[in-house]
Amino acid sequence: MSKVKALTSRLSFFGLAVIFLCLKTYILYKVGFSIYSENARQEFLLMLNPLSSSILLIGLSLFFTNKLRNVMVIVTSFLATLVLYFNLLFYRFFTDFLTLPVLFQTSNVQDLQGSITELMSFADLLLFVDIIFLFILLMKKKIPTVQRKKREAIIMVAVAVVIFFINLDIAHKERSELLTRSFDRELLVKNIGIFNYHTYDAYIQSQSRAQRVLANSSDIIEVKNYTQANYKEPDPEMFGIAKGKNVIVLSVESLQSFVINETLNGEEITPFLNDLIKESIYFDNFYHQTAQGKTSDSEFLLENSLFARSSGAVFFTHAGNEYHALPEILGEKGYFTSVLHANNKSFWNRDVMYQSLGYDRFFDINSYDVNEDNSIGWGLKDVDFFEQSIELLKSQPEPYYSKFITLTNHFPFELGEEDRLIDEYNSNSRTLNRYFPTVRYTDKALEVFFDRLKEEGLYEDSIFIIYGDHYGISENHNRAMSMFLGKDEITPFDTIQLQRVPMIVHIPGYDKHEINHTVSGQIDLKPTIMHLLGIESKKDIQFGSDLFSPERESFAVLRNGSFITEDYVFTNETCFNKEDGTKTERSYCEPYFDRANQDLEYSDKVIYGDLLRYYEKEE
């Protein structure tokens, strides 16, 4: 008994730090990350899973001796708290958890500073209260200085490992396929804990890097057979309808479909786009399929008809891969290809990635006159961006394929009074409130751009592909969103429906305008554009299909494994009836499981194995 008391006394400071870290991790799960438990077992896992990692992390301090041991208890507690806090900031905007590739995207930090400041709260200091308390105890010498006993450290490591495997066993009973769903980060955090998740994420990243080394030319055959089996023949009427025309792609920042044909205080939010839709083909069931790479992911989907990574940004992690991208294909057909984006060329590693995709020219911030008067938020305002881009367009040889990326409608949605064409919304969310004026401003900027194209004679001989790149309002603003939509709450079904973004195909002179209801996504853009230009895509490796194809299946899979069909939505391990958003039997969604998983897995296989380096050899 005396030995137990002695051990308890020696480990009291350590134990206190472990309790604090476990407690605040659990509170953060419930308050910061809003993790919901469906049953008592899940709630128990939320309370249990911080324990093994807390004992292990703070247990590292037990390898030190004398005063240094107690100092290291505080240091490791502080570092663990920073991990929690960085995840909290990231979650507040992306509703997601950090991954290793994101941490290495350091070149983006300077551009993100304004957004990070917006995400911080004075209440965040509460996360560090325990650190301050432990420090005060140490300074007041309330904690005894102890000699190092190596067995204590070893015992704690062993205890941590045992608790982890108990945790894992319970988690597997709750979710048998847990460790095969690395793309579902909330599921992993919910079951094994945030610190254990980061360890697992590091393992997954190392595995993905090894895939390139182990890949060989035979791997592409299996993928090619799969994509060709899913190929859909183009509509003869639409195939080649825009042959030889210039292609102008407009990637509109954070534009979601819920603002289209909607009003705020009696005023249209997007009056220009509403009118343009009447003269175009509008896809009202079109979903963004991005993950942590956001805008860069949407670009990757557009250019390659491949899914981006489930973690990090493929623009960073696989910029050195070989691709057979849309700019390269169009370049081979005599098109001049370019990107116009008034931002630093290194942001999202675009300067490197665009070369891999086959672009001829990147008109970055150095191609524009950017100053304090014409900038807000992330940089050059959209009206000025489009005005200045006219001369750049005119400088290009025809035909050209040019992609524009807007900036103003970007979180935190800042806008000067002189540019506000509609009042803010009135809710508990400053983010949603400010979203509407910036959307309205971007809509006006698009109108200015189209007017200028007509004035300069650039409109008639072009086709326009306009789409939202990703969501602008995350799940953290569900309460305000439910208020705007007139709902009691935002359900998981509603969350998926809010991932819809506008997609418009505008062809001057083409008079068959319609609203197309096919379920689709950004991965379908490449084959659609190729077929509109009269370029066959059957031999190309792509996971999307022509939006106009009569054979097209109404289907879209999101990067997190959720999917949407004509009649059902599957998300959060639940099947929903699309007609009324109610839960229905899982069996209705099961026929689509293989298709959704295979699309993601085969696409990942192409990227991680860099399989397109074998494409020309296979051809």
Give me the percent of the chain exceeding a pLDDT of 70: 91
To the nearest 10°, report the CA torsion of 186, 187, 190, 196.
-90
Q: pLDDT value at position 6?
A: 47
pLDDT band, very low/low/confident/very high, at 144 (cuts 50, 70, 90): low
* Span 278-328, pLDDT tens digits: 999 999 999 999 998 899 999 999 999 999 988 778 888 888 899 999 999
| pLDDT tens string 491-501 | 999 999 999 99
Query: How much is the average pLDDT of 598-610?
Result: 95
What is residue 486's predicted lDDT score, i.e. its pLDDT? 95
Question: Is the CB of residue 80 less than 8 Å from the CB of residue 54?
Answer: yes
Output the six-digit token pair for 291.
């993950």
SS (H, E, C) 474-542: CHHHHHHHHHHHCCCCCCHHHHHHCCECCEEEECCCCCCCEEECCCEEHHHHHHHHHHHCCCCCCCCCC
Distance of CA 223 to the CA centre of its chain: 25
Label the pairing between strands 361-363 and 336-340: parallel
CA 32 to chain centre: 19
Per-residue pLDDT tens for 57-67? Answer: 888 888 887 67
User: Is it the case that residue 262 has pLDDT exceeding 50?
Assistant: yes
Residue 159 has pLDDT above 80, yes or no: yes
User: Residue 11: pLDDT above 80?
Assistant: no
Could you give the angle at which helices 66-94 and 40-59 cross, rounded to 10 degrees?
Answer: 140
Please tell me the predicted confidence (pLDDT) of residue 393.
97
pLDDT at 100: 67
User: Is residue 565 among the annotated active site residues?
Assistant: no
Tens of pLDDT, residue by residue over 356-400, are 999 999 999 999 999 989 988 888 999 999 999 999 999 999 999
Provide the CA 163 distance to its chain's centre, in angstroms. 33
Structure tokens, 358: 């086959």
Q: Note whether 500 and 284 are within 8 A (CB).
A: yes
Share of the chain above pLDDT 90, in %: 63
How is 412-435 classified by DSSP, letter by letter? Answer: T----GGG--SPPP-SS-HHHHHH
pLDDT of residue 341: 96
Check whether 433 has a pLDDT greater than 70. Answer: yes
Q: DSSP states of 527-585 as a string?
A: HHHHHHTT---TTS--S---TT-TT---EEE-TTS-EEESSEEEETTEEEETTT--EE-
Tell whether the model's pLDDT for residue 85 goes beyond 50.
yes
What is d(CA 498, CA 91) in angstroms, rounded to the nearest whole number? 18
Reference 55, options 131, 151, 157; nearest CA is 157
| Higher per-residue pLDDT: 69 or 19 | 19
Residue among 76, 99, 295, 442 flagged as catalytic: 295
Look over the chain and give the mean of its residue pLDDT values, rounded to a whole number.
Answer: 89
Specify the pLDDT at position 198.
84
Please state which of the ranges 48-57, 101-110, 182-191, 406-415 shows the lowest mean pLDDT. 101-110
**In the predicted model, is pLDDT for residue 213 greater than 80?**
no
Q: Residue 45: pLDDT above 70?
A: yes
Say whether pLDDT at 618 is over 50. Answer: no
- pLDDT tops 70 at residue 416: yes
- In angstroms, rounded to a whole number, what is the distance separating the alpha carbons of residues 614 and 221? 10
How much is the pTM?
Answer: 0.78
Check whether 411 has a pLDDT greater than 70: yes
Per residue in 189-198, pLDDT (tens digit) is 888 888 888 8
Which amino acid, 156? Answer: M
Domains belonging to the chain, first-starting first, are: 2-179+187-203 (no CATH), 235-293+325-549 (3.40.720.10)
- Higher per-residue confidence, 203 vs 429: 429
Residue 110 has pLDDT above 60, yes or no: no
What pLDDT is stored for residue 4 in this prediction? 47
